[in-house]
């Protein structure tokens, strides 16, 4: 019997498997399109397949090893070829996808069965009999039958692992050492200044009627002591400036550790374009600018799903068939361009195609009354946010209006901008302008109703003089605000329907702040996106200017009854089912795939309740329940309920529920009283 792999070794292997498959996909895409260096790339893919085969066997994943070996044998048949058959390339992509999926969920019975089938397919493709491997291990009791993850949901690097270049780590270490030396220097100069001040305080003024000589001596000693104190103060000020500079540099370098090349995201999108075109019988060429750009990892993860939808929509809606393109005087292969570029503190993402463009007549028809009186540009802006499709019938690829809407939602959530442009017969372009790093914000400090707030500069259009009838910020936030309050300054807030004005008592200085999430027990607070601590130690709320603008326009605020639920379960199918039922009941649902990610989310964004599976990878549901104890209502669900499990859940203050056919309705029946019970303590 093979012993279970060491958890630390397994974490390293999982990270390696994800990284290897990302590299394999990047090489396969270039090989398939006939790159000049395809022979060298093929050798790299063979090496990578061989490496992952050895690593898989090292942790006891024999089935992954056999699958990698079969892939290696298939790829050997590509040597010396100037082209690669589509069927063989499809098989290689499916096999590498499965190596990643099985590496991250090795006890999944459905994945095991599919892997056995892929091994047979790969062996058949080279005309060799499948080797006799060890018997397939029985599925673990908690294994679930589920399909391999679709492309848009492909697992990424395990959340506990972050790939960082050694040079970046060394740079942070060096900067930390310099900052520590500066801090020690500040302490020494503080002592020196203290001694100088003590010496000054020890000097006694001359007695009344003292001789001129004594008065002159005292004046000389006082002057010398004052000079020493001023010199010590100057040295301290210089040391503090150096410390401040190095502290900022250390902060920048530490944040750079959370940046990673955009290449994995780009490769994923290229793969989405390739697979979509193949499914539709079309051909697409993808041009990339900014593949090696470093991006915030959280930002890349937030963009992955929506951009995948957008790529599929571009290929399906935008690009014509080869015959249509030839008739229009275009090359038979469509062109998709993806641009990633830094612009100041923002990331610009552009996705464009050379297809037919947006059907504006169909867009106006689908928008109905919302399109009345709008020019073409505003119709495109409305289409971007309407969540509708210009297509009459939905397909497996597109037609539900999800792609454009999800990008607009991501832009809103990340405090960025999304735009759509189109030219008939020439194509369409989606543009996103997003903060390059999500936690660092340039903000304006203001006061209203005697309370300090921080307002992100992105969303502020400028300052103006007081105007009669302008809504005070405090009143827009629902805070006590007397009618006689003196609001001396007016801020212009950007809004899709035109600038909105809000009055404040005072607009202070602009400064860069670190956005921190609100405590989890506060849940989601209207018009607030986070908090920060000013240099003097004063806590300040960071406002969401879009919601402030809506409040000033008299629009209803986000309903207080719409509660935010964190849903944790390693089954995508069950998550989708519960997410649908909870969302339909009016809850806002954030779902994650394991307990470790659930704990990370609980440390950040606010939630009102948690629904968690018990048996999950890396951290189980009991760890989640323990984190929630005394702070949040928690409901544990399990396919294998036991008396011991129920007792342990009760000890954490969590409810305990068996998975069955009526799970959704029972979860709702548990959540409703739990949430109502928690509302009394909410601020």
Tell me the mean pLDDT in the region 14-30: 88
Tell me the mean pLDDT in the region 72-86: 87
Looking at residue 322, what is its pLDDT? 92
Looking at residue 92, what is its pLDDT? 92
Q: How confident is the model at residue 483 (pLDDT cuts 50, 70, 90)?
A: low
pLDDT tens by residue, 647-678: 888 888 888 988 876 788 888 877 776 554 44
Contacts 24+ apart (CB under 8 A), 508-512: 508/444, 508/445, 508/446, 508/447, 509/444, 509/445, 510/442, 510/443, 510/444, 510/445, 510/457, 511/442, 511/443, 511/445, 512/440, 512/441, 512/442, 512/443
Q: Which helix (H) or strand (E) holds 218?
A: helix 212-256
pLDDT at 523 over 60: no
Q: How confident is the model at residue 2 (pLDDT cuts 50, 70, 90)?
A: very low
* Residue pair 466/492 in contact by the 8 Å Cβ criterion: no
Q: How confident is the model at residue 465 (pLDDT cuts 50, 70, 90)?
A: low
Alpha-carbon separation of residue 245 from 168, 178, 252, 254, 534 (angstroms): 19, 11, 11, 14, 18
Higher pLDDT pick, 480 / 339:
339
Q: Tokens for 482? A: 């007397």
Neighbours of 628 (CB within 10 A): 25
CA distance 247 to 253: 10
Alpha-carbon separation of residue 511 from 94, 242, 440, 530, 544 (angstroms): 50, 19, 10, 16, 17
CA distance 562 to 580: 15
Nearest to 634 by CA among 598, 664, 605, 665: 598
Looking at residue 129, what is its pLDDT? 45
Looking at residue 681, what is its pLDDT? 38
Contacts 24+ apart (CB under 8 A), 644-649: 645/614, 648/622, 649/622, 649/625
Alpha-carbon separation of residue 567 from 95, 119, 153, 286, 654 (angstroms): 30, 35, 16, 36, 14
Q: Tokens for 37? A: 């260096």
pLDDT at 354 over 90: yes
* Residue pair 307/315 in contact by the 8 Å Cβ criterion: no
CA distance 678 to 521: 10
Q: How confident is the model at residue 529 (pLDDT cuts 50, 70, 90)?
A: confident
pLDDT at 172 over 70: yes
Nearest to 473 by CA among 458, 490, 456, 457: 490
Higher pLDDT pick, 155 / 249:
249
Tell me the mean pLDDT in the region 640-653: 86
Tell me the mean pLDDT in the region 52-56: 84
pLDDT at 276 over 80: yes
* Residue pair 274/29 in contact by the 8 Å Cβ criterion: yes
3-state secondary structure 308-328: HHHHHHHHHHHCCCHHHHHHC
CATH of the domain spanning 442-552, picked from 2.102.10.10, 2.40.160.20, 3.40.50.2300, 2.30.30.40:
2.30.30.40
Residue 577, exposed/middle/buried by CB under 10 A (0-12, 13-18, 19+)? Answer: middle
- Which residues of 330-404 form beta strands (DSSP E)? 334-343, 346-353
pLDDT tens by residue, 370-383: 777 788 888 888 78
Q: Which residues contact 265 (CB under 8 A, 6 or more apart)?
A: 295, 300, 303, 304, 307
Q: Is 138 left (phi over 0), alpha (psi -120 to 50) or beta?
A: beta
The residue written with tokens 């464009």 in the block is 352
CATH architecture of 260-435: 2-Layer Sandwich (3.30)
pLDDT at 138 over 80: no
Looking at residue 93, what is its pLDDT? 92
Looking at residue 5, what is its pLDDT? 62
The residue written with tokens 């100069």 in the block is 189
Tell me the mean pLDDT in the region 232-237: 88
SS3 378: helix
Higher pLDDT pick, 310 / 469:
310
DSSP one-letter string for 561-594: T--EEEEE-S-HHHHHHHHHHHHHTT-EEEEESS
Looking at residue 338, what is its pLDDT? 94
DSSP one-letter string for 585-612: TT-EEEEESSHHHHHHHHTSS--SEEEE
* Residue pair 389/366 in contact by the 8 Å Cβ criterion: yes
CATH superfamily for 7-153 is HPT domain (1.20.120.160)
Looking at residue 401, what is its pLDDT? 47
Looking at residue 110, what is its pLDDT? 87
Nearest to 25 by CA among 33, 602, 331: 33
Select, from the ranges 336-340, 525-529, 574-578, the one with the highest average predicted confidence (pLDDT): 336-340
Q: Where are the domains of the chain?
A: 7-153, 166-256, 260-435, 442-552, 564-679
Looking at residue 367, what is its pLDDT? 79
Residue 294, exposed/middle/buried by CB under 10 A (0-12, 13-18, 19+)? Answer: middle
Looking at residue 1, what is its pLDDT? 38
Q: Which residues contact 239 (CB under 8 A, 6 or more apart)?
A: 182, 185, 186, 189
Looking at residue 400, what is its pLDDT? 40
CA distance 13 to 18: 9
Looking at residue 142, what is its pLDDT? 33
- Give me the residues paired with residue 31 across strands: none
The residue written with tokens 């552009």 in the block is 350
Nearest to 676 by CA among 606, 609, 631, 618: 609
Neighbours of 114 (CB within 10 A): 18
Q: Tokens for 546? A: 């879009």
* Residue pair 62/133 in contact by the 8 Å Cβ criterion: yes
pLDDT tens by residue, 402-458: 456 667 777 777 767 888 899 998 999 999 888 776 666 788 888 888 888 998 887
pLDDT at 143 over 50: no
Question: How many residues does this entry show for the chain?
Answer: 683
Domain 564-679 -> CATH class:
alpha beta
What's the mean per-residue pLDDT of the chain? 79
The residue written with tokens 């289409």 in the block is 383
The residue written with tokens 């944790």 in the block is 568
Same CATH fold assignment for domains 260-435 and 564-679: no
Neighbours of 447 (CB within 10 A): 16
Q: Which residues contact 358 (CB under 8 A, 6 or more apart)?
A: 380, 383, 390, 420, 422, 428
The number of C-alpha atoms within 13 Å of 589 and in the hemisphere containing its C-beta is 22
CA distance 501 to 490: 6
pLDDT tens by residue, 433-445: 887 766 667 888 8
Tell me the mean pLDDT in the region 70-76: 91
pLDDT at 578 over 80: yes
Contacts 24+ apart (CB under 8 A), 42-48: 42/75, 42/78, 42/79, 45/75, 46/72, 46/75, 46/76, 48/20, 48/23, 48/24
Looking at residue 301, what is its pLDDT? 78
Nearest to 64 by CA among 17, 103, 11: 103
Looking at residue 118, what is its pLDDT? 93
* Residue pair 448/476 in contact by the 8 Å Cβ criterion: no
Pairing of strands 506-514, 528-533: unpaired
Q: Is the torsion defined by CA of 292, 295, 298, 302 positive or negative?
A: negative
Q: How confident is the model at residue 617 (pLDDT cuts 50, 70, 90)?
A: confident
Looking at residue 389, what is its pLDDT? 57
- When computed from its CA atoms, the radius of gyration of the chain, rounded to whole angstroms, is 31
Q: How confident is the model at residue 486 (pLDDT cuts 50, 70, 90)?
A: low
pLDDT at 17 over 70: yes
Select, from the ranges 51-55, 315-319, 387-391, the one with the highest average predicted confidence (pLDDT): 315-319
- Give me the residues paired with residue 503 across strands: 472, 490
Alpha-carbon separation of residue 637 from 132, 587, 640 (angstroms): 40, 18, 9
SS3 339: strand
């Amino acid at each position: 019997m093979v012993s279970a792999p060491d958890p630390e070794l397994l974490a390293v292997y999982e990270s390696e498997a994800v990284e290897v498959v990302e590299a394999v996909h990047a090489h396969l895409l270039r090989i398939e399109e006939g790159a000049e260096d395809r022979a060298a790339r093929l050798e790299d893919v063979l090496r990578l397949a061989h490496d992952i085969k050895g690593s898989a066997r090292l942790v006891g994943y024999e089935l992954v090893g056999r699958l990698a070996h079969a892939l290696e044998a298939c790829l050997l048949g590509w040597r010396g070829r100037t082209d690669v058959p589509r069927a063989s390339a499809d098989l290689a992509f499916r096999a590498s996808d499965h190596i990643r999926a099985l590496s991250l969920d090795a006890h999944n019975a459905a994945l095991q069965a599919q892997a056995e089938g892929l091994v047979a397919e790969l062996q058949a493709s080279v005309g060799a009999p499948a080797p006799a491997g060890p018997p397939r291990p029985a599925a673990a009791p908690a294994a679930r039958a589920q399909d391999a993850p679709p492309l848009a949901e492909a697992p990424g690097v395990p959340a506990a692992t972050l790939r960082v270049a050694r040079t970046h780590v060394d740079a942070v270490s060096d900067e930390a050492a310099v900052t520590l030396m500066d801090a020690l220097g500040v302490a020494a100069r503080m002592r020196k200044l203290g001694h100088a001040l003590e010496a000054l305080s020890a000097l006694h003024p001359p007695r009344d009627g003292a001789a001129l000589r004594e008065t002159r001596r005292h004046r000389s000693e006082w002057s010398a002591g004052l000079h020493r104190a001023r010199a010590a103060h100057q040295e301290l000020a210089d040391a503090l400036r150096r410390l401040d500079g190095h502290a900022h540099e250390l902060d920048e370098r530490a944040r750079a550790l959370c940046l990673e090349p955009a290449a994995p995201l780009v490769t994923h999108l290229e793969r989405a374009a390739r697979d979509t075109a193949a499914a539709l019988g079309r051909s697409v060429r993808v041009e990339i600018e900014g593949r090696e750009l470093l991006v915030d990892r959280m930002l890349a993860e937030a963009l992955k799903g929506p951009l995948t939808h957008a790529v599929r929509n571009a290929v399906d809606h935008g690009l014509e068939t080869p015959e249509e393109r030839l008739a229009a005087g275009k090359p038979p292969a469509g062109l998709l361009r993806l641009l990633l570029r830094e612009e100041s503190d923002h990331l610009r993402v552009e996705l464009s195609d050379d297809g037919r463009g947006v059907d504006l007549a169909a867009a106006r028809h689908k928008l109905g009354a919302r399109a009345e009186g709008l020019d073409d540009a505003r119709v495109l802006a409305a289409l971007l946010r309407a969540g509708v499709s210009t297509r009459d019938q939905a397909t497996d690829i597109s037609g539900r209006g999800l792609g454009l809407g999800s990008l607009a939602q991501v832009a809103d959530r990340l405090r960025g901008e999304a735009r759509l442009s189109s030219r008939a017969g020439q194509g369409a372009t989606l543009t996103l302008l997003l903060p390059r790093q999500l936690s660092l914000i340039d903000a304006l400090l203001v006061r209203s109703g005697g309370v300090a707030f921080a307002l992100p500069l992105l969303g502020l259009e400028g300052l103006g003089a007081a105007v009669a009838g302008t809504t005070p910020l405090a009143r827009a936030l629902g805070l006590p605000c007397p009618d006689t309050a003196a609001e001396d300054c007016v801020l212009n807030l950007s809004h899709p329907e035109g600038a909105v004005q809000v009055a404040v008592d005072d607009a202070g200085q602009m400064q860069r702040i670190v956005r921190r999430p609100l405590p989890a027990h506060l849940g989601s607070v209207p018009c607030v996106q986070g908090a920060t601590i000013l240099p003097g130690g004063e806590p300040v709320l960071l406002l969401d200017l879009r919601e402030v603008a809506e409040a000033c326009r008299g629009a209803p605020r986000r309903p207080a009854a719409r509660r935010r639920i964190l849903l944790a379960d390693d089954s995508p199918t069950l998550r989708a089912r519960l997410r649908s039922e909870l969302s339909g009941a009016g809850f806002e649902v954030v779902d994650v795939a394991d307990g470790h990610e659930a704990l990370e989310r609980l440390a950040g964004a606010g939630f009102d309740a948690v629904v968690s599976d018990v048996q999950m990878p890396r951290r189980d549901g009991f760890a989640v329940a323990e984190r929630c104890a005394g702070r949040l209502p928690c409901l544990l669900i399990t396919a294998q309920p036991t008396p011991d499990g129920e007792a342990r859940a009760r000890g954490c203050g969590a409810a305990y529920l068996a998975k069955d056919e009526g799970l959704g309705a029972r979860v709702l029946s548990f959540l409703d009283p739990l949430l109502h019970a928690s509302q009394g303590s909410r601020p």
